Amino acid sequence: MDLLNLPASVLCTLVGPPGSGKSTFAAHYPDSWRVCLDVYRRLATDSEADQSATPVAAEIQALLLDARLSRGLTTLVDSTNVFAHVRTSLIARARYWQRPAVAVLFDVPLPTVEAQNAGRDRVVPLHIVREHHQLLPDADQLQREGFTAVHPISELLATPGAPRR
C-alpha cells in the first residue's frame, strides 16, 4: 500500500538516520524505483558497511539516477541523505532533468530510532546513529534547499489507514 502518492517522474529523497525506517518505507513501492548506496557497496565489496566502496557506489547511483530521471521514471533515494551537500547534488540532478524533487523526512524520535536499530540484523554503531540523528534537518530547511514538497513521516504515519510499518 502506498503511504504517499508519488507521481511519475518525481525524485523522492528519503532523509533520516540509520534505523529510522527508510528502507521499510521504500519497500511499499516497486523495487526498481529504489536506488540505495548500501546495495551498491555490497555489490562492490560483499559488505554494505564498507565505506571504502562509497565512491564507486555513488557513481553507480549517479548513473542510475540519470538513466531513470531522463526517462521520467519515479525514483526513490534510499540513503541517509543527512548531509546538505548530498541533498544539493540530488536536487541538482532532478533540476537538470526537469523533474520535481520531494523529500520524506524521517523525523523519528531518537529512542525509537535506537530501539529499531538495535532490533534488526544489521546493527549500526550507536554513535553513528546519534550523530546522524543530530544532523537531521527540519522541514523548513529542506524546503529552503529546494525540495518542492517535504513530507514528515510523523504526519504520514498519523494519516488514518496508513500502515504502521
* Chain contacts with Mg ion (rule: CB under 5 A): 22-23
Backbone φ and ψ for 49, nearest 5 degrees, come out as: -90, -5
CA neighbor of 147 nearest in space, from 94, 75, 73 = 94
Residue 142 is which amino acid? L
| Rounded distance between C-alpha atoms, residue 104 and residue 147, angstroms | 10
**Residue with Cβ nearer Mg ion (23 or 81):** 23
List the grid coordinates of 26: 521504500
What's the CA angle centered on 146, arms 145 and 152, to 5 degrees? Answer: 80
Q: Which does 124 bind (CB under 5 to 8 A by kind): ligand CTP, Mg ion, none?
A: ligand CTP
Q: How far is the CB of 105 from Mg ion (least distance, A)?
A: 15
Verify binding: residue 152, ligand CTP, rule CB under 6 A: no
Q: Which of 3, 4, 9, 24 binds ligand CTP (CB under 6 A)?
A: 24
Residue found under cell 528502507: 23
**Residue with Cβ nearer ligand CTP (7 or 111):** 111
Verify binding: residue 21, ligand CTP, rule CB under 6 A: yes
- Characterize 100-115 residue by residue with b for buried, 16 or more Cβ atoms within 10 angstroms of its Cβ, and e for exposed: ebbbbbbbbeeeebbe
Q: Which does 87 bind (CB under 5 to 8 A by kind): ligand CTP, Mg ion, none?
A: none
Q: Which does 165 bind (CB under 5 to 8 A by kind): Mg ion, ligand CTP, none?
A: ligand CTP
Residue number with the shortest CB distance to Mg ion?
23
Query: How far is CA 160 from its chain centroid?
Result: 23
Backbone φ and ψ for 120, nearest 5 degrees, come out as: -120, 175
**Residue with Cβ nearer ligand CTP (120 or 144):** 120
Q: How far is the CB of 32 from Mg ion (least distance, A)?
A: 17
Verify binding: residue 22, ligand CTP, rule CB under 6 A: yes
List contacts with ligand CTP (CB under 6 A). 16, 18-24, 38, 80, 116, 119-120, 124, 165
